[in-house]
Structure formats: C-alpha cells, structure tokens
Structure 1
Amino acid sequence: MGGISFLWLSAATAVFVAANGVLKTYAVKGGWPVLVGALALFCVGNWLMVQVMRANGLGLAIALSAIFQLVAISLMAIVVFGERPSPLQLAGMALGVVAVAMIAWPQGGRA
C-alpha cells in the first residue's frame, strides 16, 4: 500500500469514525437531521474507500479498512463515550493491529 492509498484509507477511517459518533448521538438523542448527517458521512466514507479499492484491490482495501475502523471506533468509544472493553476485547484489537501489519506487508499483498 502506497502513501496516497494510506492517506485515502486514513481519511475514510476518520470519516467513518465521525459518522459512527454521529450515529451514536442519534441512538441516544434521536432527531432526523442527526440521522441524515450520519448517512451523509457514511456516503463520503464509502466514496473515499472506492479510491482505496482502485489502488489496492477490494480484498486488501476492505481487510485494512475493517481493522482500522475497529481500532479507531473502539478508541472513540473508550475516550468519548466512556465505554470499557474487556481484556479479551483489548486482546482482539491487538490481534487486529498485528493482522493489519501482516496484510499490508509488501510480500503479503500487491505492491
């Protein structure tokens, strides 16, 4: 994965984290404008992911995105919403980080 692809993936992850934060707000407080805002952010995030897929293929893009989002959204849940994952869940996130390294390693994917 090249530098530009990493930037697209980082931007997509940031947008998806924001979208999920807005969606959590909708789940707690409601309001159609909040829901529409979350859906708009998801659309932007998906457009950004298409850019990652163009450069790296579907499999690599989605695998990396899933783990990036898992870790980023979990961090948001901990820091912003005060959620506390169990030790087993934390271990799963750590394994996800290892998985990203293995998937993105030059010999393991398309260069």
Structure 2
Amino acid sequence: MSGGALIFLAGAMAIFLTAASALRGYVATGQVWLIVASLALYGVGNLLMVRLMRESGMAVAISISAVLQLVLATLVAVMFFAERPSQLQWAGIGLGVIAVALIGWPKGAVQ
C-alpha cells in the first residue's frame, strides 16, 4: 500500500470507529440521533474505502479494513466502555493482527 492509501485507510478507520462508538452510545442511551450520525459516518467511511479499493484491490482493502476495525474497535471497547474480552477472544484478535501483517506484506518480499 502506498502512503496515500495508508492515509485514506487511517481516515476510514477513524470514521468507522467513531460510527461504532456512536452506535454503542445509542445502546447505552437510546438516543435515536446517534443511529443517524452513525449511518452518515459509515457512508463517509465507505466512500474513503472506494479510493482504497481502486488502488490496492477489493480483497486487500476490505480484508485489512475489517481486521483493523476488529482490533481497534476492541481497544476502544476496552478503554472507553469497560468491556473485557476473554483470553480466547484476545487470541483471535492476535491472529487478526498476524493476518493484517500477511495481507499487507509487500509484493515480492517472499518468494
């Protein structure tokens, strides 16, 4: 992935995490405007993903985005919402990190 693609990926991740946090806020408070805000944020995040798909392909862009969302959403849930994944869940998250490393591995680095 190029530097520009990484910037778009970082922006999309920030937007997706904000959207997920808004949905978690809705669960806690029941305020409907949080659902509307979350849907709007997901729309903007997906527009950024289109740029990523153009540059790196759908398989790579979606795979990296999905696993990064898994890891980052877990960290947000632990830090801000006092959620505690089990040891088995942490192991799965660790495997996700390994998966992102393998998916994003530079082409030609392994023969």
Q: What TM-score, normalized by structure 1, do the two folds share?
A: 0.93
Give secondary structure in 1 for the equivalent of 2:81.
coil
Query: What's the RMSD between the two structures over aligned residues?
Result: 1.1
Give secondary structure in 2 for the equivalent of 1:31.
coil
| Residue correspondence of structure 1 range 17-32 to structure 2 within 5 A | 17-32=17-32
Deviates more, 1:23-32 or 1:60-69: 23-32
> Per-residue displacement from partner, 1:5-58 (whole Å, max 9, x unpaired)?
111111101100000000111122112222111111111111111111111110
| Residue correspondence of structure 1 range 29-44 to structure 2 within 5 A | 29-44=29-44
Count residues in correspondence. 108
Task: Return the alpha-carbon distance in structure 1 between the equivalents of residues 64 and 11 of structure 2.
Answer: 13
Task: Return the alpha-carbon distance in structure 2 between the equivalents of residues 101 and 16 of structure 1.
Answer: 20
Q: Tell me what 1:61 maps to.
A: 61
Q: Tell me what 2:99 maps to.
A: 99
Q: Tell me what 1:48 maps to.
A: 48
Q: What TM-score, normalized by structure 2, do the two folds share?
A: 0.93
Q: Tell me what 2:6 maps to.
A: 6
Task: Return the alpha-carbon distance in structure 2 between the equivalents of residues 8 and 50 of structure 1.
Answer: 10
- Deviation beyond 4 Å, 4+ runs, structure 1: none
Identical residues among aligned pairs (%): 47
> Per-residue displacement from partner, 1:69-101 (whole Å, max 9, x unpaired)?
000000000000000011111111111111111
Task: Return the alpha-carbon distance in structure 2 between the equivalents of residues 41 and 26 of structure 1.
Answer: 14
Instruction: Report the residue type matching 1:43 in the other structure.
Output: G
Q: Tell me what 2:83 maps to.
A: 83
Task: Return the alpha-carbon distance in structure 1 between the equivalents of residues 33 and 96 of structure 2.
Answer: 34
